[in-house]
Amino acid sequence: MSLRNNRAVLLAAAASVLLVAGLALALLWAPQDADQGFSQRIFYVHVPIALTAYACFAWGAWKALRLLWTREPRYDLESYTAVHMGVIFGILTLVTGSIWAKISWGVWWTWSERQLTLFLVLFLFYCAYFMLRFSVESGPRRANLSAVYALFGVVLIPVSFLAIRLAERFIHPVVFTRDGPQMSGSMFLVFCICLAAMLALFASLYTNELAGKRLDARLRELREALE
């Protein structure tokens, strides 16, 4: 137990240090973007959050696969927690992307930004995941249904991405592209630190949330045993 506590504390500490360092470097040290100026620095927050959200969904799908493979009930909670975190990071991606769109292009929403559109689809998809979970009695049935749905999600990500790229050809011509200047070395370093920070934040949140949910389940079991 103490080992697990230690791990949670370590992860939280790593996440805080990396987050502070990453944000400080992104705001103060990273070179100014020639094209977009100061506002480009939201890149160091937005993109790592988006990548972390993908990592969450992938982790959730991996745990779902493990559940279906081994039928061990503990994977259900792990998969659920990862998807839960993924949705939180997904919402943050939508919010930060929206802010960036407003500053760069003057609109809060643009369908021509692929990642944002993809995250909107994923957001809707994973919200339905929660609806599904909350309307099935807990037990192996719910674990299986959630796991299958989580697996569908991770397959849907590349398929939707492809679909959105294809849709641009008839819905909108691509007006904005972000492939301006290539990243310089120092920009890439800051980006990597920010990405590591977000991943550490995910790991920390995941560990804590999982511990909380496990305690919750244990408490419910004890209550039922008492009644």
Residue range at the interface with other proteins (CB under 8 A); choices 32-40, 106-114, 158-166, 193-201 = 158-166
Number of helical (H) and strand (E) elements in the chain, helices listed first:
6, 0
Of 33-41, 131-139, 199-207, 213-221: span binding other proteins (CB under 8 A): 131-139
List of residues 6+ apart from 178 with CB closer than 8 A: none
Least distance (Å) between residue 109 CB and other proteins: 17
Tell me if 172 contacts other proteins by CB under 8 A.
Answer: no
Task: Return the residues of window 54-83 that contact other proteins according to CB under 8 A.
Answer: 68
Contact 57, 126 (CB under 8 A): yes
Q: Which residue, 44 or 119, is less far from other proteins as judged by CB?
A: 119
Among 4, 141, 172, 220, binds other proteins (CB under 8 A): 141
- Token readout for 63 is 């745990």
**Among the listed residues 49, 46, 47, 48, the one whose alpha carbon sits nearest the alpha carbon of residue 96:** 46
Distance CA(54)–CA(163), nearest Å, equals: 17
Tokens 């037990």 identify what position? Answer: 139
Find the binder of other proteins among 14, 88, 99, 145 (CB under 8 A). Answer: 145
Binding of other proteins at residue 174 (CB under 8 A)?
Answer: no
Backbone angles phi, psi at 119, to 5 degrees: -70, -30
The interface mask with other proteins, positions 109-128, x = CB under 8 A, is ------------xx-xx-xx
Dihedral (CA of 35, 36, 41, 46) sign: negative
163 is a contact residue toward other proteins (CB under 8 A): yes
Interface with other proteins (CB under 8 A), residue from 9, 17, 27, 131: 131
Using CB under 8 A as the binding criterion, the count of chain residues that bind other proteins stands at: 33
Told to check if 162 binds other proteins by CB under 8 A, we report yes
Closer CB to other proteins, residue 19 or residue 67? 67
Task: For residues 201 and 199, give the distance between their C-alpha atoms in angstroms, rounded to a whole number.
Answer: 5
Do the beta carbons of residue 146 and residue 64 sit within 8 Å?
yes
Terminal CA-CA length for the chain? 28
Residues near other proteins, by CB under 8 A: 68, 121-122, 124-125, 127-128, 131-132, 135-137, 139-141, 144-145, 147-149, 151-152, 155-156, 159-160, 162-164, 166-167, 169-170
